[in-house]
Structure 1
Amino acid sequence: MSAADNGGSQVKSAVRTVELLEYFAGRPGLHSLTTVQEAVGYPKSSLFMLLRTLVDLGWIETDATGTRYGIGVRALLVGTSCVDGDEVVAAARPALDRLAEDTAETLHLARLDGTHVVTLATRPSPHHLRPFTRVGRRLPAHSTALGKALLATHTDDQVRSLLPPVLARLTEHTRTDREELIAELHTVRAQGYAADREENTLGLRCFGVALPHRSPARDALSCSVPVARLTPAHEQLIRDALCAARDRLTPVPRQR
């Protein structure tokens, strides 16, 4: 085997490892070798050896029979390290705490990941009626206030290259036409915030703002509130609080 071939083989192995971890991360529970093989398409013998290696290293776990596989604790440790060491998460913590006091609703910090947003930090509402969100949760960008706030920092053509023409429907209120979504993003840019009107979860409305640390933006803040508790005055308070938090987190230009 040549050095080039060896290098290519190593890259292929790395890609397969990452794809396997992403497969298990997106499918909680334990899965048989056959189920995994049908999903990823790798030769069964190669897949088995790769799974056993990942089990030995703690990235994958098995049941008592050793025939069913799921994500391992090592992935949790690395994921926690990613969040704990993230500069944006650290900078946003005081803003999330203040938003929690100002709104008494559930707050999120999330990052754009392809066509989805991933939750990096949360602050739960003190109310009994509240949404449940965990760090690491992945949601479609087109149906969330977080996602729309971030997509609005992209050009129309960039959004077209990112999203398919027909978008997944999560509720009866979800926009499924990409061009209609792009038209809404124009409004988001003009008003400075995005809204999710029960487009991701029935009975829940959300408002989001992008954090302009990068261009296009990568991170956003949002506030989720049950429709039953949302009044016009409360909505205005939430929007104002989010925009103020964004402005406090906006980097000050360096003086030359």
Structure 2
Amino acid sequence: MPAGETGGSQVKSAVRTVELLEFFAGRPGMHSLADVQTAVGYPKSSLYMLLRTLVDLGWVETDATGTRYGIGVRALLVGTSYIDGDEVVAAARPTLDRLSDDTSETIHLARLEGTNVVYLSTRQSEHYLRPFTRVGRRLPAHSTSLGKALLATHSDERVRALLPERLDRLTEHTVTDREQLIAELAQIRERGYATDREENTLGLSCFGIAIPYRTPARDAISCSVPVARLTPAHEQLIREALFDARDRLTLATRHL
């Protein structure tokens, strides 16, 4: 076989491997071979062989019958190493701890990845009524305070290139029109922080602010609080605490 064909085959296998892992990462639980094939569209024989290879290597797991597949423990190990080795996560730890203490609410650090935000670190509120968000969770940028704070650091032209005209609706409060979102981003730039008022999860409000160690910003922090506990005074406290945390993180990340 010519060298060019071999190289092309290797690249194709690598792409398929990554696509398979992303399929499992985005769909928790176990899936049949037929379900996986329907989603990814690979020939059944080559898909089966690729799955068996990933099972042998620990990237994919099977159930007791050996006919259903899900993400494996090695994916967790690699994901954990990414968090452990990230300089921003390390630099942010004291600030996130203090922000959690100052607000008594759930705190997040997240990164913009395409049209989504990915959670890198969290501090859970000690209140009985509180949101639960795991590290590694991916949410649409347009429906979260974290995502909107980060999108606001991009130009309107870049946001138009990044997002479709119609945005997915997660709740009845989600902004689904791109131009309406762009108008909101202009307001976010003026006041310095973003809000999500039940736009991603009913009953939950969030306040987010970008960390300007890069331009446009890549990372942001947020504070999430149940609507039932959000008073005007508490909201003011959260905003002030977020601005203070941003200033501290700007200093902590100035060398990155």
Q: TM-score, normalised by structure 1?
A: 0.97
Q: Give the whole-Å Cα distance in 2 for the aligned partners of 1:108 and 1:70.
A: 27
Residue pair 2:153, 2:217 contacting (<8 A) in 1 also: yes
The question of whether the paired residues in 1 share the 8 Å contact of 2:213 and 2:254 is answered with: no
SS in 2 for 1:51: helix
CA–CA distance in 2 between the matches of 1:4 and 1:143?
A: 44
Match runs of 1:104-253 below 5 Å:
104-251=104-251
Residue identity opposite 1:139 in structure 2: L
In 2, the alpha carbon distance for the partners of 1:241 and 1:80 equals 28
C-alpha deviation, 1:253, in angstroms: 6.7
Letter in 2 for 1:91: A
Structure 2 residue aligned with 1:20? 20
CA distance in 1: counterparts of 2:246 and 2:6, whole angstroms: 48
Seq. identity, %: 79
- Judge conservation of contact 2:106–2:131 (CA < 8 Å) in 1: yes
Q: Which residue of 2 aligns with 1:101?
A: 101
Residues 121-151 of structure 1: CA distance to partner in whole angstroms, max 9, x if unpaired?
Answer: 0000011000011111111100000000000
Query: Deviations 1:176-226 (Å, cap 9, x if unpaired)?
Result: 000000000000011100000110011110000011121111110000001
SS class of match (2:224): strand
Structure-2 separation of matches of 1:32 and 1:232: 50
State the shift of 1:104 in Å: 0.1
**Is 1:46 aligned to residue 41 of structure 2?**
no
Give the alignment's Cα RMSD to 1 decimal.
1.1
Q: Which runs of 5+ in 2 are unaligned?
A: none
Runs of 4+ with >3 A deviation: 251-254
Task: Mark the runs of 5 or more structure 1 residues left unpaired by the alignment.
Answer: none
Q: Is the Cα–Cα contact under 8 Å of residues 146 and 220 in structure 2 kept in the other structure?
A: yes
Secondary structure in 1 matching 2:210: strand
Between the aligned partners of 2:58 and 2:254, the Cα distance in structure 1 is: 45
SS of match in other structure, 1:82: helix
2-structure distance, mates of 1:253, 1:68: 47
Q: Distance in 1 between matches of 2:192 and 2:52?
A: 50
